[in-house]
Structure 1
Amino acid sequence: MNLSSCALALGLVVFSGAVLAGERPHLVKVADLPKWWVVAHADDAQVPPNGKNLTAPTCAAVSFRINRGGAIGDVKLEKIVPEGDLSQVAVSSIRALHYVAAAQNVGKDPVYTYQILLFNAPDVKANPGLFAEKQRIYDQCKLEDFKLPASLM
């Protein structure tokens, strides 16, 4: 291989890496995420031994990007109700996820989405009459105006 061929090959590798690194993810609604990516496994989240509102019924909305390989990035706590140290657990829980592409996501396209996590919510399997209360807690963390951050456009 001559010098100009090496330079061309190196240029293509650098260019393709730059394109992939700057690739704009699809904005995906919470309900549509399983059409794109599914959880392969989750590592343990980090839970503080004590703190503020650790036992209160809580919802947390955490946004994140799923890259082509299923790795998580750009994790951000968007909202937590009520405020407290479960925010650390919410972010840690999302960072602990590992995804694989869904059958429809043949190109393993990256996405930007969010999840709502519930902590200390009523157990509706044990008491179906508490469904409305669990839904009320969940609804507090819906992000109606969720969009791609400028850094990912």
Structure 2
Amino acid sequence: MNTMSRRFGQALVLALATVAAAPLLAQSQARMVGPEQIQNYWIMLNTKVDADIPNSGRNMTAPGCVAVSFMIGSDGVPQNVTVRKVVPQSDLDRVATSVVSNFRYGPSLKNNTHEPINTYFIVPFNLPADPAQRQSITNACKLPGFDQA
């Protein structure tokens, strides 16, 4: 009898561990979605965000961009916020991380299951007025592998 209750206990622990790990596994295998396709899954709720901006640093006034990858979790909050590319090299990476960390999302009408996605955002800094120059700078921050919508 003692062996049977021990096996039942082990099976129960295994079942509970599997149920608890399922959301983590689902988030780690989240779909990779490019910035142009985010609105098919999540809608940004912020109209503006605050950022921590240093008083001085390297290339702070140069035109550039920072690509920040992150996962929009099932609660609409960015997770695993990571700087992936800084063009040109500057001290604006922490500013970009701060900006993206403050984003908040609500699910789109198509995303009624609140499916987490991996994506990225390009934070532009000091861009010139000329649209072609702006595009050239932000193109340098595009990340490959995020166009699987």
| Fold match by TM threshold 0.5 | yes
Residues 9 and 98 of structure 1: CA distance in aligned 2, closer, same or farther (over 3 Å): farther
Identify unmatched segments of 5+ residues in structure 2. 1-8
The corresponding residue for 1:31 is 36
The corresponding residue for 1:70 is 76
Residues 68 and 85 of structure 1: CA distance in aligned 2, closer, same or farther (over 3 Å): same
Aligned CA-pair RMSD: 2.4
Matched, 1:18 2:21: yes
Structure-to-structure mapping, 1:64-103, within 5 angstroms: 64-103=70-109
Identity of aligned residues (%): 32
Please identify the structure whose Cα radius of gyration is greater. 2
In structure 2, the residue corresponding to 1:97 is in which secondary structure?
Answer: coil
In structure 1, the residue corresponding to 2:115 is in which secondary structure?
Answer: coil
The corresponding residue for 1:107 is 113
State the alpha-carbon separation in 2 of the partners of residues 144 and 50 from structure 1.
31
Identify unmatched segments of 5+ residues in structure 1. 1-6, 124-129, 148-153
Offset at 1:98?
1.1
TM-score by length of 1: 0.80
In structure 1, the residue corresponding to 2:67 is in which secondary structure?
Answer: strand
State the alpha-carbon separation in 2 of the partners of residues 9 and 37 from structure 1.
36
**After the TM superposition, which segments of 4 or more aligned residues of structure 1 sit over 2 Å from their partners?**
7-17, 144-147
TM-score by length of 2: 0.82
Q: Deviations over 1:29-63 (max 9, x none)?
A: 11101111111125411111111111111111110
